[in-house]
Amino acid sequence: MTRYAKDSRIIFDLGLNNGDDTDFYLKRGFDVIALDANPALCGRAQERFQAAIKEGRLKILNAAIWDTCGQTSFYINLNNDHWSSLDVAWAARDSSKYSEITVECVTLDNLFNEFGVPYYLKVDVEGVDQSVLEQLRGCSVLPLFVSVEDCRLGFDYMRILASCGYNGFKLLDQSTISQMKDAATAHVFPAGSSGPFGHDLPGSWLSYDAMVQHYALTVRDRSGNRLAPRTHWWDIHCTNLSDASSLA
């Protein structure tokens, strides 16, 4: 029987980027494992979070999350570091310039074994998000909350998460994040950050079927045609309602 890590005090920030999400998670009192394949971004985060690292509350990993260990090529988008990816087509979108480096890869199982299963798993790893979600299958213990940046594979993401036992879903419109403030810490979410998670998300949790219907009317139809303007983009959040409700 699958269990969910409702007593964990760890958050995995997969896709550290500029560190704004990690900053919020630390303010909320969580320990953070933050991963990014871009060494420049990791270096800046090492400087920004020196105190948390020294206190043992933050571990920054300069690595790529993938379905196997070892080394591979990583492509750094030189116009927009958010688009850097293991997938060269992803990194080169819109005719962007990129540079190629070699990075170490880790799997989700590696991270769970070394650091424990997190309370919340944030997944924003341009082009390989589905690989991360697939790795959740078969785990005996799973994060209580998961979020993943939506893309054209949103229907597949929700299907995979439902197959893992997640039965509560929400869409968070990322274009509204800069208008939000965390009540517990007075943290104002910077534009481009992931925003709130878990019980602090606005709106009601939807069942898988209701979420699919909502998504198909809001984001893109079942044929993959985008319905929403490009000024709006989303994260898909999920939980197991039985375990989450015991903490509400």
Question: In this structure, what token pair is assigned to residue 108?
Answer: 């989700």
Question: In this structure, what token pair is assigned to residue 159?
Answer: 């299907």
Strand partners, 28: none
Q: What residue numbers bound the domain in which 143 lies?
A: 3-245
| Single-letter code of the amino acid located at 30 | F
| Cβ burial 69-88 (10 Å sphere, 16+ → b, else e) | eeeeebbbbeeeeebbbbee
Strands 120-123 and 145-149: parallel
Q: Are 197 and 145 in contact (CB under 8 A)?
A: yes
Report d(CA 169, CA 236) in Å as an integer: 7
Report d(CA 62, CA 43) in Å as an integer: 9
What pLDDT was estimated at residue 178?
Answer: 95
Cβ count near 6 (within 10 Å): 15
Total residues found in the chain within this entry: 248
What pLDDT was estimated at residue 159?
Answer: 98
Number of domains in the chain: 1
The domain that holds 108 is classified in CATH as 3.40.50.150
Over its length of 248 residues, how does the chain's per-residue pLDDT go in tens digits?
Answer: 789 999 999 999 999 999 999 999 999 999 999 999 999 999 999 999 999 999 999 999 999 999 999 999 999 999 888 889 888 888 888 888 989 999 999 999 999 999 999 999 999 998 899 999 999 998 999 999 999 999 999 999 999 999 999 999 999 999 999 999 999 999 999 999 999 999 999 999 999 999 999 999 999 999 999 999 989 999 999 999 998 876 65
